[in-house]
Structure 1
Amino acid sequence: MKKLLLLIFVILFACNSKSDKNDYFEDISENDIKLFPPKPVDWLYSHKERGQSFEQFLNSKHIVPTKENNIIYLQPMGEFNSLQVKQIELVREYLEIFFQLKTKTLNDVSNDVIPKHARRIGPDQNEQFLAGFILDSVLKKEKPQNGIGLMALTEVDLYPKPEWSFVFGLASYRDRIAVSSIYRLYDKSLGNKDFTLCLERLLKICSHEIGHMFGLYHCIDADCVMNGTNSLQETDEHTLRLCSNCQRKLNSGLKYDNKKRLLELEKYFKENKLKEGLEFMEKDLKSIQ
């Protein structure tokens, strides 16, 4: 009888231990918001994507942190004012929480590294840098110690090729490098609401691009920071939150404590007055109680 009870206890303990993590994703899935049918101006209207299931993610080639490569790096490029410098630090803090990996900011790189042939005056009569040059001729040459991903941030506008008017950013997920511009993310004042809106956009763009570096495809199942976007308006319409399926994928590779991450995100959103993000974290935390 005692052996039977012991066996039952072991089986129950094993089942509970195995399901605890899965229960987390099932619990927070109730907070996922289904996407509306795309409008003609939306990303999914013109990009017929298949999405990525959890099983497809597991079977894909994607990077995972190791003792040798476990730090995300930010590379500021250009001349930033004090408010922009503050935003870059807030982005660093956020990425460290979002991915639960050490995130460091490198010393600024001067715009002088961009030669004349990789610059132009764009359609809006503002200077622009060729995004691909930054990836291939600047970032690829850098090999930060223990780096797993490298993202440059520039205050100058970007363009990907001559026929395009501009691009918010560009990435090479194979090389784990990306560049994003803050030029078009605010109304040039960065005061009060403008600061918060620009920060929210930066957090979405940076976490989205680095999410790709860790193997996440565009999400087509729910409102999620991994949704593809065609414009700032569409970026603003999507949430900072990873849906439950994308969280499951990320966690399977990075192996972080889900509740710890939620609590740290909740604190970050509260301190930086990011109301929507805070509401989502509070809902997720309530769901796992």
Structure 2
Amino acid sequence: MRKIAILIFIIFCSCSKEKTNKIPKEVPKEIPKEASYFKHIKSNDVKLAEPVYGDWLFSHKEKGQTFEQYFTSKHIVPTKEANIIYIRPIGNFNSLQKKQIKLANEYLEIYFQLKTKTLAPISNDVVPNSSRRMMYGHEQLLAGYLLNDVLKEEKPLNRIALMGLSELDLYPKPEWNYVFGLASYHDKVAVSSIYRLQDGELTSENFNLCLSRLLKISSHEIGHMFGLHHCIAADCVMNGTNSMEETDRHSIRLCSVCQRKLNSCIQYDNKKRLSDLEKYFKKNDLNDEFDLMKKDIGIIQ
């Protein structure tokens, strides 16, 4: 009987050991070599100026994010089930504002090389009085309510990211004056306001400046949804900003490091994306932005 018990024990231990050996180990992701495209455009990266009082990096001592850190991090990637970026307008928009939203949709589709759709606008009435206030003579909506009680509930088909665009100004909490936007990167949802991008009123005279701001802010926020952190490597659209003046100073261009990150996630054709961006900026008379793309194209040819 004792021999049988010992035999059973040996068999049990042997089976346990065999099962343990069969447990697959997670294979570390191999860091891909830097493609020649990124090496070439790196020479067009512009070093960030030393931050001064009022700048984002003056008060936020960020460590940045290397390509290796990004590549080995957990972040969303497009799949057959999740591959469309959505824009949800919130409020009553005039014809010029509607035109900007349409152009932002077109831009984001080029920028991320993913299908982008604008959903039908929803009324400001979705926000209850308890989440609204008057400040400095204009109405503001509570950003957190739009984010958590409106946008997070939306599940459009094949959504990979959803960005709400509010006509009205936003505030994050009672003690704050305003906020440009708010995001839940875990839920891949964000809300931003066009109110402060317009210098009081959107006109044909300031249309291009305000459009450039909208393109920067929307691509920046959605970039975060794809796992990109604030950039400290160069002048880049992923730089953090504290003010509209600082946003205006920073480039609409992704630096070479951030382009490499985004490309490793979405795996688009770099040259096609660059060419598409150049055509977009030229068509819409965004001359400074066009020159940036033209410079990159010139160096890779």
| Residue in structure 2 matched with residue 50 of structure 1 by the alignment | 63
- State how 1:71-220 maps to structure 2 within 5 Å: 71-122=84-135, 124-220=136-232
| Residue in structure 1 matched with residue 234 of structure 2 by the alignment | 222
The one-letter code sitting in structure 1 at the alignment partner of 2:198 is Y
Q: Secondary structure at the match of 1:75?
A: strand
Distance 1:150 1:186 in 2: 22
- State how 1:216-255 maps to structure 2 within 5 Å: 216-255=228-267
| Residue in structure 2 matched with residue 256 of structure 1 by the alignment | 268
| Residue in structure 1 matched with residue 81 of structure 2 by the alignment | 68
- Identity percentage over the alignment? 65
Query: 1:273 deviation in Å?
Result: 1.0
The one-letter code sitting in structure 1 at the alignment partner of 2:146 is I
Query: 1:188 deviation in Å?
Result: 3.7
Distance 2:166 2:206 in 1: 18
* Aligned counterpart for 1:37 among listed residues 35, 40, 50: 50
The one-letter code sitting in structure 1 at the alignment partner of 2:97 is Q
Query: 1:59 deviation in Å?
Result: 1.4
Structure showing greater radius of gyration is 2
| Residue in structure 2 matched with residue 14 of structure 1 by the alignment | none
Distance 2:160 2:123 in 1: 23
Query: 1:45 deviation in Å?
Result: 0.2
Query: 1:257 deviation in Å?
Result: 0.2
| Residue in structure 1 matched with residue 299 of structure 2 by the alignment | 287
1:131-177: CA deviation from partner (whole Å, max 9, x where unpaired): 01001000011001000000000110000011110011111100000
Q: CA RMSD in A?
A: 1.0
Q: TM-score, normalised to structure 1's length? A: 0.92
Query: 1:275 deviation in Å?
Result: 1.3
Distance 1:190 1:118 in 2: 26
Range that drifts further, 278-287 or 180-189: 180-189
Residue ranges of structure 2 left out of the alignment (5+ in a row): 1-31
Query: 1:125 deviation in Å?
Result: 2.2
1:80-115: CA deviation from partner (whole Å, max 9, x where unpaired): 001100000000000000000000000110111000
The one-letter code sitting in structure 2 at the alignment partner of 1:56 is Q
Query: 1:127 deviation in Å?
Result: 0.6
Distance 1:270 1:249 in 2: 26
Query: 1:57 deviation in Å?
Result: 0.2
Query: 1:189 deviation in Å?
Result: 3.8
| Residue in structure 2 matched with residue 10 of structure 1 by the alignment | none
Distance 1:98 1:164 in 2: 32
Determine if the alignment matches structure 1 residue 25 to structure 2 residue 38. yes
Distance 1:196 1:53 in 2: 33
Moved over 6 A (4+): none
Q: Secondary structure at the match of 1:224?
A: coil
Distance 1:269 1:193 in 2: 17
Residue ranges of structure 1 left out of the alignment (5+ in a row): 1-17
The one-letter code sitting in structure 1 at the alignment partner of 2:236 is C
The one-letter code sitting in structure 1 at the alignment partner of 2:276 is E
Query: 1:129 deviation in Å?
Result: 0.3
Q: Secondary structure at the match of 1:184?
A: helix
Q: Secondary structure at the match of 1:286?
A: helix
Distance 1:252 1:73 in 2: 22
Distance 1:36 1:239 in 2: 12
